[in-house]
Copies of this chain bind each other. A is one copy, B any other.
Amino acid sequence: MKQNLHLITLGVRDFKKSYKFYTETLGWKPASASQDDVAFFQTSGVVFAIYPREKLAEDAKISTEGSGFPGFTLAYNAHSEAEVDEIIRDLKSKGVQIVKEPTKAFWGGYSSYFADPDDYRWEVAFNPFFPFDENGNLKAQN
């Protein structure tokens, strides 16, 4: 198994609400492969998808029951502290719940968090130690 991750799918409780959040609030464009109850979003290197929670649980052979911290976070890296502030200001003006205001992080960066409709946590950060390559992909200093 090569060192790769191609797709991350969030199981969402209210598909229409989440679809609206990602397409209207964040302004992302769904790929043509999207269907009635699944939406794919092509990012620079991974496909991000939303899908009804109970269907995802069924596909992954697990009970749909689950509560509390899901145990993962997603992160968006901005190019500067000012861009972090700008993104969070914009999301706040659209009614998005900001769970952590932009602040200096112990690891030397600048970080904030917002919650999506299922309370999945997105970090918006500036990390001076993770440079971007020419395609806008984050490089973890291989």
Q: Please list the residues of chain A having a beta carbon within 8 angstroms of any beta carbon in chain B.
A: 1, 3-12, 26-29, 31-33, 40-49, 53, 56-57, 59-77, 87, 90-91, 99-100, 111, 113, 118-121, 123-124, 129-130, 135-142
18 further A-B pairs in the complex, CB-CB below 8 A; given A3-B29, A53-B71, A65-B69 = A4-B76, A5-B46, A5-B75, A5-B76, A6-B75, A6-B137, A10-B72, A11-B69, A33-B140, A41-B140, A43-B46, A45-B135, A47-B140, A60-B121, A61-B99, A62-B69, A62-B121, A70-B71
Closest 7 CB pairs of A and B: A45-B45, A66-B68, A66-B69, A7-B75, A31-B140, A70-B70, A40-B140
- Closest-by-CB residue of B relative to A4 is B43
